[in-house]
Amino acid sequence: MIDPPVVLVARPKPKRMRYIVAGGLCAAAVLFLIVGGLSRNIVYFRTVSEGVTAHGKAPDDTGRLRLAGAVLTGSVERRPDGVTFVVTDGTTRARVLHHGDPPELFKDGAPVVCEGHFVKGDRAAVPTFDSDRIMIKHGAEYRPPSVDASK
């Protein structure tokens, strides 16, 4: 366990270049892996119009995205394994097939963000979106009721 005293010996550096090349190659490979992993796991955030337009151009692309809009009033249908509804941003609509229970405050008109993907090859005017996660959109700042500070 006891180390010898440190002796500083100047050494020739014949292998230096080789180390640098090897290190550079390793770094490049790791970077390649990281960037690849990143690009495979990007989730785009789209409004319904943007999402539906992009899906219309490439109907076979099932990339994961977050679709933002509001729940169309009267479109909600409960199903045993989840819920279906229509999400809209005022101009465009998409049908959402959600797996699992929607969150507590999910209701007609609620602003929602659904995460999932469009059904592959679905060329309908109102395409179907497979969702497994619904978030109710809300501002970052919380304001409790009943107290108005400035009046």
Partner 1 sequence: MKGALGFGGITLGFMAAALGVITMAVGIQRRDGRIMATGRQFVFMVLLGALVAAGAMEWALVTHDFSLAYVVRNHARATPLLYTVAALWGALEGSILLWALILAGYLTVTVRRLRARASDPLVAWATLVGLVVAAFFFALMLGPANPFRPTPGLIPKDGLGPNPLLQNHVLMAIHPPMLYLGYVGMTIPFSFAVAALATGRVGEGWLLETRRATLVAWAFLSVGIVLGAWWSYEVLGWGGYWAWDPVENASFIPWLTATAFLHSVVVQERRGMLRVWNLSLIIATFCLTILGTFLTRSGVLNSVHAFSQSTIGAWLLTFLGLAAATGIGLIAWRGDRLRTPGRIDSPVSREGAFLANNLLFAGFAFVVLLGTVFPLLVEALRNEKLSVGEPYFDRMTVPIGLALLFLMAVAPALPWRAASGPVLRRRLAGPAWVGALTMAACAVLGARGVAEIVAFGLGAFAVAGIVRQYALGVAATRRASGGGWPGALRRTVAGNRHLYGGLVVHFAVVVIAVALAASMGYTTKREFRLVQGQRVTLQSHHFTYLGSTRHQTGQKDKFQARIRVERGGHDLGVYAPALSIFPNSPQAIGTPSVRTGLLRDVYLTLVSSPDQDGRITLGVQIGPLVVWLWIGGGILALGTAIAVWPARRIRRRSTGRGPDPLAPPAPTTPSADEELLAEAPA
Binding residues for partner 1, per CB under 8 A?
A: 1-6, 8, 11, 30, 33-34, 37-38, 40-45, 64, 66, 100-101, 103-105, 110-111, 136-138, 140-151
Contact between residue 118 and residue 55 where contact means Cβ atoms under 8 Å apart: yes
In order of 34, 36, 58, the CA distances from 41 in angstroms are 11, 9, 19
> Could you tell me the smallest distance in angstroms from the CB atom of residue 137 to partner 1?
7
Q: Is the CB of 63 or the CB of 74 nearer to partner 1?
A: 63
Q: Is the CB of 96 or the CB of 134 nearer to partner 1?
A: 134
Per residue, what are the HEC states of 97-135?
Answer: EEECCCCCCCCCCCEEEEEEEECCCCCCCCCEEEEEEEE
> Could you tell me the smallest distance in angstroms from the CB atom of residue 34 to partner 1?
6
H/E run at residue 21: helix 16-40
Q: Is the CB of 1 or the CB of 17 nearer to partner 1?
A: 1
Query: Which residues have CB under 8 Å from 46's CB, separation 6+?
Result: 54, 65, 66, 67, 68
> Could you tell me the smallest distance in angstroms from the CB atom of residue 56 to partner 1?
18
> Could you tell me the smallest distance in angstroms from the CB atom of residue 127 to partner 1?
20
> Could you tell me the smallest distance in angstroms from the CB atom of residue 91 to partner 1?
19
Site of tokens 């640098």: 20
Q: Is the CB of 35 or the CB of 124 nearer to partner 1?
A: 35
Q: Is the CB of 66 or the CB of 95 nearer to partner 1?
A: 66
Instruction: Give the length of the chain.
Output: 151
